[in-house]
Amino acid sequence: MPLPEFTIRLVETKLTEYCDHKIPVHVRDQVKLIHKITGNKVTLIETRPFYCEPSTWTETPIAQFRFDNETKKWALYFMDRNSRWHLL
């Protein structure tokens, strides 16, 4: 079930602010933090220029927040080396 519109706007505001403040301005050409919302999941992603093709940026998922509509609570997940998500 997708997130409510109000929650999406709140997540967008908070995570955009977090990502902007986490990476210093002078290194943003080398690394960035972004987020993507899909359904009830919000994924925090680190992006960097691809070493062979600096004009192409690679994406590495760092964390995933999942919202449970029944309990109205968020859960935090991390990705292992096999690209599987695990509850933290």
Rounded to two decimals, the pTM is: 0.88
Average pLDDT, the chain: 94
Whether 86 is in a domain gets the answer no
CA distance 3 to 43: 13
pLDDT at 1: 75
Whether 31 is in a domain gets the answer yes
Q: If pLDDT is split at 50, 70 and 90, which confidence band does 39 have?
A: very high
* Domain of 42, in residue numbers: 5-81
The closest of 44, 45, 88, 39 to 68, measured between CA atoms, is 39
CA distance 68 to 77: 13
3-class secondary structure, 84: coil
Give how many domains the chain has, as a whole number: 1
Q: What are phi and psi of 44, to 5 degrees?
A: -90, 130
> Rounded to 5 degrees, what angle do the CA atoms 64, 70, 73 make?
40
Instruction: Please give the average per-residue pLDDT across 23-49, as a whole number.
Output: 95
